[in-house]
Amino acid sequence: MLHHATPQAAGRWCAEQRAAGRGIGFVPTMGALHAGHLSLLQRAKRENDLCCASLFVNPLQFDDAEDYANYPRDTQKDLRMFAAASCDMVFSGALGDFFPGAGGVADIPVKNAGPFGRGLEEKFRPGHLDGVRTIVEKLFAAVGPCRAYFGEKDFQQSLVVTDIAQQSDGISVVVCPTVREEDGLACSSRNVLLSPNERKKAAAIHRALLRAKTLWDENIRDAAHLRRAMGEALAAAGVAVEYADLRDPLAWSGRPPAGEMQRAQALVAARVGRVRLIDNLRLDG
Ligand code: AMP
């Protein structure tokens, strides 16, 4: 497996591969790899001539300096895992490599996330999806993939990056199912930051989503009813809820729905101790 230390070197390699007629499947990551990342890498490998990944903890998408400082990092372990997943090329880089001339985050013109950035994450992590859009546009420009793979776990992010791809030439975003631990907790790089007691509590997030799904299957379609049921399930487990809400997955809106829903994605963001976790589940279908 090749490891390029800058997006420029990676970009040159990708251009050579594209010129030779090879299609690239691309998996952007912030490292601290887990089974969710591996599922994306495996699919990219299967569906393309080449599987490429990026490893960059993007400071632009953190609204909290402490969260950025504490984000788990283990580059050597990650590189071994990328290689074991038969990745062809991984690249990393410093902030100044992605944004030449920038001395720090404050110098970087941040893009607006667009219509799918409205609501939910926007309220509780202001600027997060703007930072995602800013880096993903850079990554797409460097790699020029035919397909880019993202996880459904970050549902609102998957909508933002699909929007970017639709405005870029020839890139399709493939949204991959959420990989979970045995008790239902969505795999996340942040799970290693949970104490054993918090780790047990965190399973309540998936249980709350399943509660909404059960109600939906019993023909409960009222948004307020479903929202309340998730909130109660999380509160009973002692999890601090940021949002436990619903959206029409095919018609995103910044505002919470009211009344009967025809389609619903249930979405939760919660803090377990100091760790912020998100998850979601499609209720219909
Ligand atoms: P991250 O390194 O957290 O930025 O994640 C890199 C990619 O992996 C993103 O597209 C995430 O949505 C995806 N991802 C993270 N967790 C999971 C999971 N549990 N299942 C599937 N994909 C995931």
pLDDT (tens digit, 9 = 90+) per residue, 94-109? 999 999 999 889 999 9
Strands lying side by side in the sheet with 89-91: 2-4, 89-91, 50-55, 24-29, 147-151, 172-176
The reply to whether ligand 1 has any atom less than 6 angstroms from the CB of 153 is yes
pLDDT digits (tens, 9 = 90+) for 15-34: 999 999 999 999 999 999 99
Output the six-digit token pair for 218.
Answer: 């019993």
In the CATH scheme, what is the code of domain 189-282? 3.30.1300.10
Q: Is 218 helix (H, G, I), strand (E, B) or coil?
A: coil
Q: Which CATH class is domain 2-176?
A: alpha beta
Q: What is the pLDDT of residue 103?
A: 86
Percent of the chain topping pLDDT 70:
100
Least Cα distance to 154 among 279, 27, 28 occurs for: 279
- What's the distance, CA 134 to chain centroid? 14
Catalytic residues: 37
Domain with CATH 3.40.50.620 in the chain: 2-176
In the predicted model, is pLDDT for residue 150 greater than 90?
Answer: yes
Q: What angle do CA 84, 57, 240 make, to 5 degrees?
A: 105
- DSSP assigned state of 260: B
The CA distances from residue 190 to 14, 30, 122, 271, in Å, are: 31, 11, 20, 11
In sequence order, which residues have a C-beta less than 8 Å from that of residue 11 and are 6 or more positions away?
Answer: 141, 142, 143
End-to-end CA distance of the chain: 40
The reply to whether ligand 1 has any atom less than 6 angstroms from the CB of 164 is no
The reply to whether ligand 1 has any atom less than 6 angstroms from the CB of 53 is no
Q: What whole-number distance in Å separates Cα of residue 81 and Cα of residue 93?
A: 18
Q: What are phi and psi of 207, to 5 degrees?
A: -60, -40
Going from the Cα of 281 to the center of ligand 1, the distance in angstroms, rounded, reads: 15
Domain with CATH 3.30.1300.10 in the chain: 189-282
In the predicted model, is pLDDT for residue 248 greater than 90?
Answer: yes
pLDDT digits (tens, 9 = 90+) for 182-210: 999 999 999 999 999 999 999 999 999 99
In the predicted model, is pLDDT for residue 169 greater than 90?
Answer: no
- What's the distance, CA 38 to chain centroid? 14
Output the furthest CA–CA distance in the chain (Å, rounded). Answer: 57
The reply to whether ligand 1 has any atom less than 6 angstroms from the CB of 81 is no
Output the six-digit token pair for 79.
Answer: 């590189």
Going from the Cα of 40 to the center of ligand 1, the distance in angstroms, rounded, reads: 8
In the predicted model, is pLDDT for residue 49 greater than 90?
Answer: yes
pLDDT digits (tens, 9 = 90+) for 72-82: 999 999 999 99
Ligand 1 atom nearest the C-alpha of 189 is: 3
